[in-house]
Amino acid sequence: MIPQRHRRDGHTGGQRLFAEFKDAAARERVWFKREPWHPIAEGGEEHRAELLLRYCDKDGNELFPGPLCAEAEQDDKAVDLDSVVVPLALEHASRNKWKSVTTNVHPMSLLSRQFRTSSEGAIAEFVLNGGDLVIEILETDRPFPTKPDLSFMELLADMGVRFALDDIGARRLGKLDSRSSTADVCHALTSPDVADGRRILALATERLYHATQLAKLDRRLVDHHLGRAFERDDVPSLDKLVEALRRMYGDDLEIVAEGARPGDESILGRAGVNYAQGFYMTNE
Q: Per-residue pLDDT tens for 166-183?
A: 888 776 666 666 777 777
Higher model confidence: residue 187 or residue 61? 61
Residue 25 falls inside a structural domain? no
How large is the angle between the packed helices 78-95 and 113-128, nearest 10 degrees?
Answer: 10
Q: What was the pLDDT predicted at 249? A: 79
Q: What was the pLDDT predicted at 134? A: 94
Q: What was the pLDDT predicted at 227? A: 77
Q: What was the pLDDT predicted at 8? A: 40
Cα distance between residue 283 and residue 38, in whole Å: 12
Closest CA to 68 of 21, 27, 6, 3: 21
Mean pLDDT of the region 225-251? 78
Per cent of the chain over pLDDT 70 is 77
Does residue 5 carry a pLDDT above 60? no
Mean pLDDT of the region 82-107? 95
Q: Residues, the chain, total?
A: 284
- The model's pLDDT over 7-66, given as tens digits with 9 standing for 90+, comes to 444 455 667 888 889 999 988 999 999 999 999 976 566 678 999 999 998 888 898 898
Q: How far from 68 is each of 53, 86, 101, 260, CA to CA, in Å?
A: 11, 15, 22, 24
Residue 105 falls inside a structural domain? yes
For the chain, give the secondary structure using H, E and C. CCCCCECCCCCEHHHHHHHHHHHHHHCCCEEEEEEECEECCCCCCCCCEEEEEEEECCCCCEECCHHHHHHHHHCCCHHHHHHHHHHHHHHHHHHCCCCEEEEEECHHHHCCHHHHHHHHHHHHHHHHCCCEEEEEECCCCCCCCCCCCCHHHHHHHHHCCEEEEEEECCCCCCCCCCCCCHHHHHHHHHCCCCCCHHHHHHHHCHHHHHHEEEEEECHHHHHHHCCCCCCCCCCCCHHHHHHHHHHHHCCCCEEEEECCCCCCHHHHHHCCCCEEECHHHCCC
Residue 67 falls inside a structural domain? no
Cα distance between residue 83 and residue 118, in whole Å: 6
**What is the extent of the structural domain holding 223?**
33-51+73-281
Residue 98 falls inside a structural domain? yes
Q: What was the pLDDT predicted at 19? A: 87
Residue 111 falls inside a structural domain? yes
Burial of 173 (0-12, 13-18, 19+ CB in 10 A): buried
Does residue 4 carry a pLDDT above 50? no
Higher model confidence: residue 171 or residue 69? 69
- Tally of structural domains, the chain: 1
- The model's pLDDT over 142-155, given as tens digits with 9 standing for 90+, comes to 776 777 788 998 89
The mean predicted confidence, pLDDT, of the chain is 82
Residue 8 falls inside a structural domain? no
Mean pLDDT of the region 102-109? 92
Q: What was the pLDDT predicted at 1? A: 34
Residue 91 falls inside a structural domain? yes
Closest CA to 242 of 212, 270, 263, 277: 270
pTM for the whole structure: 0.85
Q: What was the pLDDT predicted at 9? A: 44
How large is the angle between the packed helices 182-190 and 238-249, nearest 10 degrees?
Answer: 60
Does residue 129 carry a pLDDT above 70? yes
Q: What is the CATH number of the domain that holds 242?
A: 3.20.20.450
Residue 237 falls inside a structural domain? yes
- The model's pLDDT over 205-229, given as tens digits with 9 standing for 90+, comes to 555 666 778 889 988 888 888 877 6
